[in-house]
Structure formats: structure tokens, C-alpha cells
Amino acid sequence: MHDDRSLVESRLKRVLEERIRPAVHPVSVPLTAGIWTAPGEPVPVAEGLAAPRTPIAAGDAWGAPWSTSWLTVTGTVPAEWAGRTVEALIDLGFDANMPGFQCEGLVYRPDGSPVKGLHPRNQWVRIAAPAAGGEEVVLHVEAAANPVILDYHPFLPTELGEKETAGDRPRYRLARLDLAVFDETVWELVMDLEVLGELMAELPVEGARRWDILRAVERALDAVDLQDVGGTAAAARAELAGVLASPAEPSAHRISAVGHAHIDSAWLWPLRETVRKVARTTANMTALLEDQPDFVYTMSQAQQYAWIKEHRPEVYARVKKAVAEGRFVPAGGMWVESDTNMPSSEAMARQFVHGKRFFLDEFGVENHEAWLPDTFGFAGGLPQIIRQAGSTWLLTQKISWSQVNSFPHHTFWWEGIDGTRIFTHFPPVDTYNCSMKGGEIAHAVRNFKDKGRARHSLAPTGWGDGGGGTTREMIAKAARMRDLEGSATVRWERPAEFFAKAQAEYPEPPVWVGELYLELHRATLTSQARTKQGNRASENLLREAELWAATAAVRAGLPYPYAELDRLWKTVLLHQFHDILPGSSIAWVHREAERMYAAVAEELTGIIDRAQRALAGEGDADVVFNSAPHARGGVPAGGARPAGAPATTPGRGCTAVPRPEGGHVLDNGLLRVAVDARGLVVSLVDLDSGRETIAPGTAANLLQLHPDFPNMWDAWDVDRFYRNTVTDLTEADELTLIQDDLGAAAAVRVSRSFGSSTAVQTLTLRAGEKRLDLDTEVDWHETEKFLKAAFPLDLHTERYAAETQFGHLHRPTHTNTSWEAAKFEACNHRFVHFEEPGWGVALVTASTYGHDVTRSVRPEDRGTTTTVRASLLRAPRFPDPHTDQGVHRFRHALVPGAGIGDAVREGHRINQPERRVPGAAAAEVAPLVSVGDEAVVLSAVKLADDGSGDVVVRLYESRGARARTRLTAGFPLAGATSCDLLERPWPGEEGETGTDGDEVLIALRPFQLLTLRLARVVSRS
């Protein structure tokens, strides 16, 4: 037989596109429209409905960037359409190839009740089914003119990301405003042909099934009268019924489809626009659930539910009803889909606390899966956080974006730093915006790496962001693939149903140990430094506010600020969303975040000050409060003493002498620091051991400047080739010695200029402190540059430690494999630590996250130079063309001779400075709780969220070793209960504890996290 396959396939493409799809709406009449544009920010619905309209028609321009226009469309259903299905077709000027990244609309009835959203792939509004004829149509559309920022030529710098610079030129033209008949039979024919055509293209040419479909399609096309598609659609469908009814092979891959719309809580739009995106999409999805009995939709991010509850209560009522019916499924149990690399231990825990508690309080739902499809890699401390939040599963997809190494599993156990394992799934469909195309389904089957051992995968299905979610077309295609020969089988299922099936069939999957590193988007550890510093400062202040508020409540009866802390935590958690904290949002988002962090700091500082004054009593003496989890300067951890209390480690004063070659030598009896005439550290000797810290022939605290123009994703990415070119900033404009007359400290300040920028660094050695403090102020005016601070260490090690949530993880210093080489930029929290047996060095930081580590062997002495570089600033131009311009301040410290415990302690010290408040001369505040082993770190001390007055303590083993210790309550203890993160009783498997009077006996595994609820003895006086 002659091979006419290509001929038939080409015929299908043209007939479907030019004849059959247009016949879905065979007749139409224009609607009349009027428009009103709000003068500023979006207005309440009632105001938008009542505003006066001016005429507008298809083809007219509308929509300055970020503006909101209200359209009213009116018309009458023609009498001759009686008995037929009628829809309004409203095209605001959409580009069908950009769902989620352009204008959107929400349709309202005249009474102000929402109907559904309008999006590029979802432009219809059902009017009547069937119509009586003569119906008057009145619809209102709240249309958002969100500008296209990620355009066909992506990553071009644009001023559209800031309202003040975006201009007022209209960005859109109305394309269609019609009433039309909807021919359901033709629409079903379109779905038949799309499913079969897409499946056919994925089947082997030599297989019989492909040819069976081809011949059926040919017969169907023969049956279609191109001048009467509607009249012949049923006959064409009949020709396809046989091949559509042929069942799937028993061994077919099984896909659990989950209705989904991944909505970034901010990205190329501000937070306020996400509120409306969520309302549009959930209005769509609740309407679709009413029409489609098999459909299941899931939405994560408790914050987004809270937004629609506050701003669109009518939509929220529909959501609550659908949740109660089990059709609309809250997923993930987090406040937002946050970044997981940079949030602190407590912040990561609170993402689950606030998310899960919202779902429990609002819906009575406790979900067991973490849902993070788009997050940029996963820290090694996350599994036990997920587990202790009461969850057991994790879904993500982003790891499929890795540039170098293909992850070897799709379903596996993920083991965290403490040994906790979480059953984890990466959808092999490789998208969290699956549209049920045949190519996507076939890719999932081919790509699934666990074939032969497992057959289940998940497909998050729907257009994300402002795309409107799942469409009726996706549901129709899934229905045809429910049991279709040559295809995977598709069922709509809740995430929990998928995970239960997947784990049952694959109870012993492979294990992946340690972080899930994304080999992409590494620069998000550095972009938008102010946002990152605001986050770190807020986390520190929240911890401190809870500690002192709880102490003041127990000791002084001061009311505990439950509501304020709850609100502030949620605000900070929101801004840890995976495009805000990583620095990949538009300028509007980051400027707003900067203002928010300032307001949060002011409010939290007020809470701290009130609590500390209540504890310090009346007087003018300085009372020193230590919120760090380790004692310092004679002040216990979590306690306070009058200033001048004896120091625990007295040391000699600091001296500074000229260096013969230029520069200065600083000495405090513990360290001797040589700073040369360039202002660089050329020697740093640990006087206890006699060890030199700085590699011979090198200089530390060296600022280095690289060009930074990645191939894609400017704010997100740094590509390896950036290292090919480097400029060492060695020229000093000024070098100044600063010495305290009493010998308490000595410092060298060096000023530099480079490009259009300046940097001032102050290197300080303090009496009694075995560390060199490094303060850097940069007035940054570069573009497409990367600034780092380098510390070449004379130290041989094959791995180093980097702090993460509730512990640290080890990374190699070498690049033996492609997996190791790909980690050329990595994350740390407060420290990185390098160690030879018996001697180590820590670099601690107050606000930076990104760093890189390299090693080389010196030919002269065969010694190893291990260089760590802290990433300070970048200057990408997309999506914010003015990223990080202006003044920035950074604090680091280099700690020679440091063990891992020293790194932990110094990391907390630099992040939790002491506070001094006026109070009584004899004021002494004992810690509310204390632990007997410095390896056990108190992550949180607070009052229980339920208002019971119980004290809640979260702690963890910080050094990677076993620990047995006692926790002492500074109040009469009625009992201690091991809890989960939500402060609910937790079975004994998670902690070996017992009580002894006012003490709790604790035994911890390496890096184990433990939450204790301490009941107080109630006084009967």
C-alpha cells in the first residue's frame, strides 16, 4: 500500500484549524460595550460596577500598564437561537501563547457576584443552555492591564515592572465582543481529533495502532462536509468511536491528573495583583467543578486562600463548599510555596505551622503532602520539618530543569541531614502546567525512570499564574485517555490518592541522601540583597520578640502579643515566596518588600523593647540582654545582667603596630592579623596553635569583580563561564588605622573605588575575641557585574560544612564528578566551616547566602589552598533593570581555630547582637529555659499558640553528633510533652525525654529537631 501518512496528517491539521474549530461557534452577533478606567489602584467591586461608562468597541485600545478598567457588555440573544447553547466570547486582546503573563479579567453579574475569569485559553462565558431566545445579556468585566514583561524576546530590560516608570500607553486592543452559539457536537469532534491526532504522532510509525487511528481519522475527515460542519460532525464522530473505545494495555503507565494552577504569589506582578489572579482562577475552577463530576482541583498556599477570604468572600464561599465536597483540595500545608534554601530553621517550620493550621481551622483538612512544584532546590534539613509538621510526602518538579545532570529517579525516598525520609515524587511529565496534550502524556511515559518497579505518576494539569487553571478542553481530553490504547491511562485524583497508590506499589524505592540541588537559578542566592537582608533581620527579630515576650509574660505578667506575632510571622513568610526572597520579581515587588521589612522591624523592635523594659525594671543602669542561644560576656543565653558583669573569658587588649612593608599588624593575644598597604589580609595567625590561616602568597578579604551576563534568566542564573574573567580590587584609595584608647579594639578601614562604585571595609579585632570582624559598605552602581569577597585558606579538606535548617550539610571542595562540578554556587545560612583534623576555620555572615568554594594545590610546597568566596552583589537588568543600585552594608567574620561548635556559636552571635536597655542596677533576668549542652541550640522559646500559657521550646542538636542533656525550666514545671510543629502531642518516636523536677531529660540524634510543650504550675494564691 502506498504511504499516504503525511498527506492525511497534514489534511487533519488544516481541516481542524481552518474549518472544524471555527465551527464550534458557528454564528455570532456583536455585543455593545462601555468602559471606565479606575484612576489609580483597583477599586471595590461596587465602585467599579457603578462608575460611568464610555463606549468602546472591538479594535479599540485600552489598558495603560497596571491599570484596571471596568467593561460592561450588553446584548440580546436572537430569537432564532432558542433551544441552543449560547456563550459570550470576550477577547481582551489576549495572546493565546502567553497564558498567565498578560491582561486578565473577572466577569461579574449585575448584582456583583463573580462568574468566572477570562484568560487567553478561556474566553467564553456561558449565557444559557438552552437559550429561550430574547434574553437580555448584561455582564461586567474587571479587566487588569498587566503588561507583558517576559515577552517573545525574553529577558530584555524593561521599565514596565515599576508602576511609576511603566508609562501610560495602552498595551492592549479589544479583539472580540460577541454573543455566539456553542455547538457542542462540533466541540466534541475537535476533542476527538485532537486526542487521536496527538496520540498518533507519538506512536511508532511501524505499529498497527498508529495506522488504525490514521484510517479512522481519514474516514472522519471524509464524513465532514466543510460547508456544513455542524450538520456532519456527528457522522464524523461515529467514524472515530471505534479507535477511541479500544482499551489501554494492562501494562500502561497510570497518570493521576490533578487540576492545578501554579500561581506565583508575586513575580512579574505585585502582590495585590496575585489577590485578583487567585480570585479569577478559583472562580473558574469552582464553576468547572460544578459542571464536571469527575474533576478534582487542588490549590496550595494558605495565603492565597486567606486573600480570597478577605477580598472575594463570594468566591471563597464557593471554595469552602467545594472543599467540603472533597473536590477542591487544599494542598501542601504551607503558608506559601516558599524558597526552601534561604529561610531560617524557624521560618521553614512556621511555613508549615501557619499553612496547616489555616487549612485545619478553615476546612478541617489536614493534608499530608508538601507541594512545591516550582521551588529552586531543596535544603537538606527539610525532610524532618515536613515530617514533624505531620506530613509524609513531597511533590516537586523543578529539579527537571537542572542543566547538567538528569536526576536518576522520579519516585524515591529523600533522606535529610538527620536521617528522616520523605516519600518524594517528581512528575515525569516535566511541567506543572500540563495541558493534556498527547506529547506531554507520551513524554511522561518515556521519561519515567522507575519503569519496571512502578507505574504511577502525577500530572499537575492547568494553566498557572494568570492562565486560569484547568480548562474544559483538558478535562475532555483526559476523559478520552481514561482507557485508550497506546496511551497512559488518566484519572482525576487527589494528591493523597496518588501518593497512597504510588507508595503502596513501590514501598522500597531508591534513597537520595542530602540536599536536592537545582543545577540552575544559582544566582537567586544573591540577587536583591536588600530583600535578603530584610528577611534575615525579620527572622532574627521574630525569634527575639517571641523569646522576650514569653519571658516577660511569665516573669512580669506582661500580656503576650499573640495576634501581633501571628500577623508579623505571616507577613514575613509571604515574602519568602520563591520569587520574592530569591530576588527574581519585578522592581515593584522588591521596593514594596523593602518598605514592609522596615515596618516589621519597627513593630518587632517595639515588642522587644516593651518586654525588656518590663524585665529590666526601673532605673538608669544599662541592662544587657542576650538573645543568642549561647552565653557571652557573662550574660547567659536568653537572659540579662547589668552591664559590667565580669566577662567569662578575660583577654588582653588589642595592639596595632605599623607593618614594615606597609599596612598594620593587629594583635589581641589570640590572633595576629597583618593587613598590607592594599588593605588586604595577608596573614592571620591563630596564636594558640601557631597556625597560619591565609594561604601563602595570597590575600584574604579580597573583593573580586566578575562580568555577569548569563545565557538566560538574568536575575536567576549565574553561568559557570563568569569565572573566566575576574578583576581583583586591590587598589586602595585610603587606609586608616582606628584604635580604641583602652585597647578594646583595633581596626583598619580601607576605601576603594571601582567602575562607578565605591567600597569601604572595616577590619576589626576585639579584645578577648578569637575572630576578625569584617564590615563592608558598597555604594553599588554597576550593571551586569558580580561582586565577591575571597578568603584563600591554608587548609586541606575534601569537604566543608554549610549551615542549613536545624543543622548543617557537607559539600565537597573538589569536582570529581559532574554532580560536584555543578554546585559551583551554593547556599549557607550563618556559616561555612572548613576543617582539618583538630583545626578549622569558619566564615560567618549576618545576611549573605551565596558562596563558592574551590581548591588548588600549590606547586611550591604541595600545600592545598581552599578558597571560600562570599557572594555580595549582582546587577542583573531583568526583571528589575535597577537591581541593587545604591548603598549596601554587609557583616562577616573570619574565625580561625574554629570547631563546628564555634561556627554555630559565632554564627548566632553575629545575627543576634546584644541589646542594652535602661533598668535597675541589680536587674538580673534568668533564662526562661536553658540547656546543659552547647551543642543543643534553642531555635524558639515562645508561648503556646493556643493561649494556654504553656511555654513551647524548639531545639535541635547542632553539631551532627548525639547529645544527652537537661533542659531546665526557669519556672515551676507541671509537665513536659513532646510535640509536633503545630504544638500537638507527638508520639515518643521523635524524642527520648523525661522529667526530673523542673528539668527535662533529653536524648537527641545528630541534627534531631525536638519541640517541647512545658506546662507551668498554676499558682492557687
CA–CA separation, 573 vs 350, rounded Å?
8
DSSP secondary-structure letter at 17? I
- DSSP state letters, 936-951: EEEEEEEE-TTSS--E
Q: Residue 922 class from Cβ within 10 Å (0-12 exposed, 13-18 middle, 19+ buried)?
A: exposed
374 is catalytic: yes
Strands (E), 603-756: 621-626, 639-642, 655-658, 664-667, 671-675, 681-686, 691-692, 702-707, 727-728, 734-739, 745-754
Judge whether 792 and 701 are in contact, CB under 8 Å. no
Strand partners, 954: 940, 1011
Positive or negative torsion for Cα 89, 95, 100, 102? negative
Angle at alpha carbon of residue 889, lines to 887 and 891, rounded to 5°? 170
- DSSP state letters, 368-384: -EEE-TT-S-B-TTHHH
Pick from 306, 303, 251, 308: nearest CA to 285: 308
- DSSP state letters, 507-527: SS--EEES-B--SS-GGGGTS
Pick from 875, 711, 886: nearest CA to 787: 875
Question: How many CB atoms are located within 10 Å of the residue 251 CB?
Answer: 7
Q: Catalytic one among 60, 151, 374, 740?
A: 374
Angle at alpha carbon of residue 762, lines to 761 and 766, rounded to 5°? 155
Chain centroid, CA 693 distance in Å: 37
Q: Which three cell numbers stand for residue 395?
A: 511533590
CA–CA separation, 913 vs 894, rounded Å?
17
Question: How many CB atoms are located within 10 Å of the residue 430 CB?
Answer: 16
List of residues 6+ apart from 639 with CB closer than 8 A: 625, 626, 924, 925, 926, 927
CA–CA separation, 731 vs 870, rounded Å?
20
Chain centroid, CA 917 distance in Å: 37
Strand partners, 672: 667, 685
CA–CA separation, 603 vs 565, rounded Å?
10
CA–CA separation, 45 vs 43, rounded Å?
6
List of residues 6+ apart from 897 with CB closer than 8 A: 686, 688, 689, 691, 770, 839, 840, 841
Q: Which three cell numbers stand for residue 257?
A: 491528573
Judge whether 174 and 143 are in contact, CB under 8 Å. no
Residues in the chain, how many?
1021
Mutual orientation of helices 302-311 and 313-324 as an angle, nearest 10°? Answer: 130
* Residues with active-site annotation: 374
